[in-house]
Amino acid sequence: MGEAISRRKFLGTAAGGAAMAMSAASYSRVMGANDRISIGVIGCGSRGIGAHMGGIKPHAAGQNVEVTAVCDPWTVRQEMASATAKEHYGRAARKFSSYRDLLALKDIDAVMIASCDHQHTTHLKAAVEAGKDAYCEKPLAKRLDRLIAAVDAVKKNKRVVQIGTQLRSYGTFTGCREVYKSGLLGKVGRIEQHRNGERPYWYGYVKDVKKADVDWKEFLMDVPDRPFDPVVYSGWYGYREFSDGPVPGLGSHFIDLVHYITGAKFPKSCVCMGGTFTWKDEHNFTAPDHVGALWTYPEGFMMEYSTNFGNGSGNSFKMFGDVGVMDMVNWNAPVLTAEGAPKRRGQIRGKEPVKPVARPDHFLDWLQCLRTRKQPNASIDAGYQHAVAVIMAMQSYDTGKRMVYDADKREIRAG
């Protein structure tokens, strides 16, 4: 389905001796068009190096930006990231193991956070409190209290933050949004995605990692200490202490798109069930390989997300209206049909392609907003909304209870 799901992991060692001369603008003022934006990367796994550094490279000259510092607990990955910066910009980036050292750099204007799921809110809150703008990967949070603290810090410090739910910046999905707003589908009562695979994605990240190369405590952060384990370190996506599996890992994209297309903000209620039914082995992964969640929305529709990591067939992504269906399983070519519509008064005939709406890609949108100070396409509010939905799901999964959200009190409770 769509693009492959790339992932991030780790962070780096101490800075070299000679400091590079930087022309980055001070954030005591709005940056001018000629000021170079100096960017730091927090988390140098495949997401940090491949997606983030690779994603801004095509815009680096036009937007006058440079990656000048990187951090990761694993020296191997920080070396790779620093070398990638040299390849892209002609000089190596400074290297650190801890985000604290990177954020202490006065010449860093913005950071790109591609760290582990359990670290996102800590890194984001620290970044904005240090006066940096940020691009932060999804899922934005595992815990509601830390989510609220990070979101409040972003707003208090008036930082520009883009969340990494990049599908809402696809022209095709903006076209889907226009279709929804037009009423062509009639009354939409159900939206669903089934996102399956032959095995859980976390198996693809397990590798040999040497203890001497890792700042283990920097990786654990506030997770209880335990002996170093290369499988836990490299395959952290499969362990609940560090990541909650496919609902937040993959489903956050789906949830954010539903919010973007429909204009909905928060679910009213959620139930979720699942478990490890297929992939039981010596790794003892705790993230579910099968899971299903249902949310209801005050706008009057039900949303379903499910993952089957025991069989890769059956993928789908559809919005069901009473006069039409929008099929978005092909992210690059969504279509409209009247299939199954009980009311035949609609205007859809056969299969009709959804017309895309041109817009900047997700990274360019963020870089432009660093200068204009406008809200990017996936604002901190959008990140908060998808995070609430996935936290509701995982609380339901863990307790076996239906969870409800009170938007006024910013509380999730059983109900």
The total of structural domains in the chain comes to 1
Asked if the structure places residue 287 within a domain, the reply is yes
Query: What pLDDT does 31 receive?
Result: 55
pLDDT reported for residue 12: 34
The per-residue pLDDT for 16 is 34
Convert the pLDDT of each residue in 35-45 to its tens digit.
999 999 999 99
pLDDT of 7 higher than 80 = no
The CATH number linked to 230 is 3.30.360.10
Give the whole-angstrom CA distance, residue 38 versus residue 103. 12
- Encoding tokens for residue 310? 């025991």
Judged by average pLDDT, the poorest of 23-32, 103-112, 130-139, 152-161 is 23-32
Rounded to whole angstroms, the Cα distance separating 66 from 228 reads 34
Cross-strand pairs, 192: 304, 318
pLDDT in tens, 202-219: 999 999 999 999 999 999
Quick check: is 216 in a domain?
Answer: yes
| Amino acid in position 355 | K
- Note whether 386 and 259 are within 8 A (CB): yes
Note whether residue 146 is domain-resident.
Answer: no
Among the residue ranges 23-37, 83-97, 134-148, the one predicted with the least confidence is 23-37
Per-residue pLDDT band for 350 (boundaries 50, 70, 90) equals confident
Residue 22 has pLDDT above 60, yes or no: no
What dihedral angle (degrees, nearest 10) is formed by the CA atoms of 22, 24, 28, 29?
A: 140
| Mean pLDDT calculated for residue range 364-373 | 98
Q: Is residue 388 part of a domain?
A: no
- Work out the pLDDT band at 349, boundaries 50, 70, 90: confident
- Tell me what pLDDT residue 53 has: 98
Residue 32 pLDDT class (50, 70, 90 cuts): low
Place of tokens 């010596």: 282
**What is the DSSP pairing of strand 290-297 with strand 301-308?**
antiparallel
Q: Residue 71: pLDDT above 60?
A: yes
- pLDDT grade for 346, boundaries at 50, 70 and 90: confident
Predicted confidence at residue 342, as pLDDT, reads 74
CA distance 260 to 2: 18
pLDDT, mean over the chain: 92
pLDDT at 235 over 50: yes
| 313-329 confidence digits (pLDDT tens) | 999 999 999 999 999 99
Domain of residue 330: give its range: 171-353
pLDDT per residue over 72-92, tens digit each?
A: 999 999 999 999 999 999 999
Judge contact between 341 and 323, C-beta under 8 A.
yes
CA nearest neighbour of 125 among 10, 222, 50: 222
Instruction: For residue 162, give every residue at least 6 positions away whose Cβ sits within 8 Å of its Cβ, in sequence order, or none.
Output: 134, 135, 136, 362, 365, 366, 369, 376, 377, 378, 379
In a domain, 89, yes or no: no
Paired strand residues for 290 = 275, 308
Is 33 inside a domain boundary?
A: no
Tokens found for residue 5: 């799901």
Would residue 247 count as lying in a domain?
yes
Q: Both tokens of residue 150?
A: 């990070």
Q: Read off the pLDDT of each residue in 50-57 and give the average, rounded to a whole number.
A: 98
Nearest alpha carbon to residue 322 among 299, 301, 342: 342
Which residue(s) pair with 134 in the sheet? 111, 161
14 pLDDT tier (thresholds 50, 70, 90): very low
- Identify the residue whose tokens are 């992939």: 279
- Residues in the chain, how many? 415
129 domain residue, yes or no: no
Going 40 to 45 to 49 to 55, the CA torsion angle's sign is negative
